[in-house]
Structure 1
Amino acid sequence: MITRVSGAALTAGVAVVLSVTAGAPAFARPQAADDQATVSVFHGVPGLTVDVYAGDKELLPDFEPGTLTDPLKLDAGSYDIKVFKDGEGPDGTPAIEKTVDVPAGANATLVAHLTAAGKPALDAYVNDTSKVPAGKARLTVRHVAAAPAVDVRADRTAVFKNLTNPKEAKGEVAAGTVSADVTLAGTDTVAIGPADLNLAEGTNTLVYAWGSAEEKNLALKTQTLTGLHSAPAGVPAGETGAAAVHNEGLPLGALSLGALSALGAAGLLVRLRASVR
């Protein structure tokens, strides 16, 4: 039986491992606060528990699909990230391997996910922590699912159109609760949703559309960055841009038969088990 690792334990483990010089970037001098970045990690590959390594050092053991870590501080630099099927690292062949650049001062999320064709991939996204106008909230949507282009709707009105994997789209909207869903691009065929999103004033709500259309496990995951109020209405919320992680995913069901048929006809999707080594 796999033991779930708590967010605090994951954070501590990553911070300790990445602070050593073996298997992690070497820096000529100690890093000042403004030479660091805030990094979270999201596991968006369904059906595959993994171990995540930086070089030959294990960062996240038994990392389960749908898990988003708490944010942590890392020294800026390049990290050789390897993702193995649970128990196969560090001497086996990684399912995903990529060198990730962590820019100084950035707030970033590292995402292990599927490509549109269903192959494992790793992408780093820099999160927008700039100020949000009074009465507004920022909404960021990231397409990291094995699915074709989609439209993202709020209260049945398309706000982001023709979003493809692994692109993101963002904008500022009136603060409040909206009913969000995801449709196949240019159609009213719902792929995910609907689900209510609470877009609080002065926040950036990051929504990840992840999973596999063919495997019928598409879902949403949310991450919220707080403390982005514009003066003079700013509300003290600790560190500006700190991520408040909502670890309850929003499982929103499978595609309708019509949508699934459209995806199958597109010929874009393959099963994960055929692509993971």
Structure 2
Amino acid sequence: MTSRTPLLLGASAGACALALAVAAPAVAAPTADGDDTATVSVFHGVPGLTVDVYADGDELLSDFEPGTVADPRPLDAGTYDIQVFEAGRGPDGTPAVEKEIKVPAGANATIAAHLSADGEPRLTAFVNDVSEVGAGEARLTVRHVAAAPAVDVRAGGQPVLKGLENPEEDTAVVDAGTVPADVVLAGTDTVAIGPADLNLQEGADNIVYAWGSADDKNLALATQTLSGMESAPNGVHAGGSGAAASSNSSDQWPVWAGVTGAAALTGSLLIRRAASRRG
């Protein structure tokens, strides 16, 4: 379901923000008509486990570290048996997690290996929104892939993405630039992750993954940027990889503590909600 409701936020500057510069962006060029391939990235969100990733018995990734996003790569459309093994134990061993994933032709997708809300390894496929955004705008997508309850994402102390549950995502189109934000338990002021400055690039889908485990106190954020969606001539296409910038909340941020968010939004931020949920 998609909605676009104007929301005007205004507040004073925040404190104690940790910069999350979105690392080397991946170009989200549209697939040509008739092409039967897709563009696929993989996000690793299972803490403490270096893995190898296989598709139909063929190795896609090796020694893949938690909190990172693999470079996007073309993949033939179809249904794949995706297996994630502890590094060095595939393909004949028992996978840590396995699932059949359908890859649609022409899609730009990210497969996330992560924990369920109750802490079990899971695979979830997300189709990335690479539709055009307006001049001066950025798309913010937040994906809840942590072993944690439902959360709200706040800007300026006010929730802009609400009631996000694992493994859902929610999206808003915002003004490009640096946005102080935090993640709180849904309907409360109890901070889960943050505050942090998110660097939202113009003409891009700036994807933020909330991953890790609340019980193990290792909640963190990782980011992925898909660029090339600007509608104005002043937009510049940025190339590069889909690597994620990751920050471990147990080391740097308050984790599930009863602390109100210090982040605030300077001036006014016009947000047009474009919410989408996938169960």
**Shared topology, TM-score over 0.5?**
yes
| 2:250 maps to 1:249 | no
Helix, strand or coil: the match of 1:223?
strand
Larger relative contact order, structure 1 or 2 (CA cutoff 8 Å, min sep 6): 2
Give per-residue Cα distances to partners, 1:55-93, cap 9 Å, x unaligned: 222221221111211111111111111111222222222
**Separation in 2, partners of 1:44, 1:74:** 22
CA RMSD, 1 decimal: 2.0
1:55 and 2:47 are equivalent in the alignment: no
**Percentage of identical aligned residues:** 63
Tell me, what secondary structure is at the counterpart of 2:35? helix
Indicate yes or no: 2:230 matched with 1:211: no
| C-alpha separation in 1, matches of 2:242 and 2:155 | 22
- Aligned letter for 1:171? A
Q: Secondary structure at the match of 1:97?
A: strand
Decide which structure has greater helix share: 1
> 1:39 offset after TM fit, Å?
0.7
Distance 1:246 1:82, change over 3 A: closer
Per-residue Cα deviation, 1:147-205 (whole angstroms, up to 9, x for no partner): 00000012222100110000000011112211111000000010001111111221110
Report the counterpart of residue 221 of structure 2 in structure 1: 220
Contact 2:147 2:213 in 1 (8 A): yes
Aligned counterparts, 1:65-214, within 5 A: 65-214=66-215
Distance in 1, matches of 2:70 and 2:48, equals 18
* Structure number having the greater strand percentage: 2
TM-score by length of 2: 0.76
Which blocks of at least 5 consecutive residues in structure 2 are unaligned?
Answer: 1-31, 260-279
- Per the normalisation by structure 1, the TM-score is 0.76
Partner of 2:233: 233
Checking the alignment, whether the CA contact within 8 Å between 1:144 and 1:210 is kept in structure 2 is: yes
* Aligned partner letter, 2:242: V
